[in-house]
Amino acid sequence: MSACAFPSLPTRARRSWTAWAVGLAVALAALVLVAPALRWLFWDATWVGQSRAACGPAGACWAMITARAPQILLGFYPAGHGWRVGLAVAMLAVGLAPLAWRRRAGLTMLTAPVGALACLALMGGAGILPSVPSAYWGGLALNLIVGAVSAIFALPIGILLSLARRSTLPVIRILASAYVEAVRAAPLIVVLFAAAVLVPLLIPPQWSLDKLTRAIVAITFFEAAYMAEAVRGGLMAVPQGQREAARALGLKGWQVLVFVVLPQALRTATPALVNSFIGLLKDTSLIYVIGVLDITGVLRNAVSDYAWQGLEPEAYIFVGLTFWLLCFGLSRWSAALERRAARAQGAPS
């Protein structure tokens, strides 16, 4: 008997008593705090109107959001060309579609960059459609396009970096590690600033890329460093026996990588990759440093308008909720992908 004298745990009955008390207290507090917020957000809010004067004093003034909806979505993209933005975002989606196609998910590595290029071509005109300089791109569409295009090109670069960090050649290994460590230690805003201001000083103007393109390239290479670390984690999780089995079957080095190691590594790395992509999507707001107006910039612009002055709370709550919805949606989508992959392999989920 005495050998098993573990300290006794609180009994279930007593614990559930305190649980009830704490639960009730929290619920009451929430009601007291949340109810006025909900009143302000919905009940007393004004949804339509031409200026702040149309809004009641007790509630939120969402009239600004509805009045500025086209700009919030598309920025100052020329009227009548909005369809191009819609189609451009659709191109991104089409490029990413094979991801949902279990047997050929790897095809995304080819289709996504094509989709991204099609997206940029549609936005800019590519010499066929009327040209729209990137200074006119903006709104939520800009956040989505910059985020997705950067991520699409950052992943292959990140994979190459992660492989380089495991190279047997010391020069390649050291260069890749130095790159990843240097980039991860720099804030994105500094990198963007360098791309916007420093690069034009160093490169003759006739070679220089458009300002937004420079920003996208900067974000791509910035993000690649983070993706490289996520993929490296996945690579380390693939057991040595997998490589041995593949080599014993006669697969060449690159085949072992493409058909055996990477599919497993990327699946393991998916949560970390999605995590870093969510971070990237939120960071797209920082492109204000190059003077284009993303969703945050458009709203900042709106509240500086005399008609909507003083509506910063509404503006930032709306931006916050929009990003929250996007990022939460992404996180649920990736969780669904993981569950489906696990189910396909019969793992208990």
Point out which residues bind other proteins (CB under 8 A). Answer: 239, 241-242, 244-252, 255, 259-260, 263-264, 267, 344-347
Kindly tell me which of 90 and 99 has the beta carbon lying closer to other proteins.
99
As measured in angstroms, the least distance from the Cβ of 181 to other proteins is 30
| Among candidate residues 326, 233, 246, 345, the one with its CA nearest the CA of residue 280 | 326
As measured in angstroms, the least distance from the Cβ of 214 to other proteins is 38
Kindly tell me which of 171 and 248 has the beta carbon lying closer to other proteins.
248
As measured in angstroms, the least distance from the Cβ of 166 to other proteins is 19
| Among candidate residues 155, 273, 274, 142, the one with its CA nearest the CA of residue 213 | 142
What is the biggest distance separating any 2 CA atoms in the chain, rounded to whole angstroms? 87
As measured in angstroms, the least distance from the Cβ of 341 to other proteins is 8
As measured in angstroms, the least distance from the Cβ of 143 to other proteins is 33
Kindly tell me which of 101 and 259 has the beta carbon lying closer to other proteins.
259
Q: How far is CA 308 from CA 49, 52, 293, 318, in A?
A: 11, 5, 18, 14
Cβ contacts of 217 within 8 Å, gap of 6 or more: 195, 209
Kindly tell me which of 33 and 248 has the beta carbon lying closer to other proteins.
248
Cβ contacts of 148 within 8 Å, gap of 6 or more: 92, 96, 116, 119
**HSE of 29 in the Cβ direction (CA atoms, 13 Å)?**
6
Per the listing, tokens 């009239």 go with 63
Orientation of helix 211-237 relative to helix 262-283, angle to 10°: 140
Q: Cα(90)–Cα(75) distance, rounded to whole angstroms? A: 18
As measured in angstroms, the least distance from the Cβ of 271 to other proteins is 16
Kindly tell me which of 81 and 247 has the beta carbon lying closer to other proteins.
247
Kindly tell me which of 247 and 300 has the beta carbon lying closer to other proteins.
247
Q: Cα(88)–Cα(154) distance, rounded to whole angstroms? A: 19
As measured in angstroms, the least distance from the Cβ of 248 to other proteins is 4
Q: What is the DSSP letter of 137?
A: B
In three-state secondary structure terms, 8 is: coil
Kindly tell me which of 244 and 312 has the beta carbon lying closer to other proteins.
244
As measured in angstroms, the least distance from the Cβ of 231 to other proteins is 16
Phi, psi (degrees; rounded to nearest 5) at 300: -60, -40
Kindly tell me which of 216 and 256 has the beta carbon lying closer to other proteins.
256
As measured in angstroms, the least distance from the Cβ of 251 to other proteins is 6
Given a contact cutoff of 8 angstroms between Cβ atoms, the answer to whether 176 and 232 are in contact is no
| Among candidate residues 136, 135, 229, the one with its CA nearest the CA of residue 181 | 229
Kindly tell me which of 129 and 245 has the beta carbon lying closer to other proteins.
245
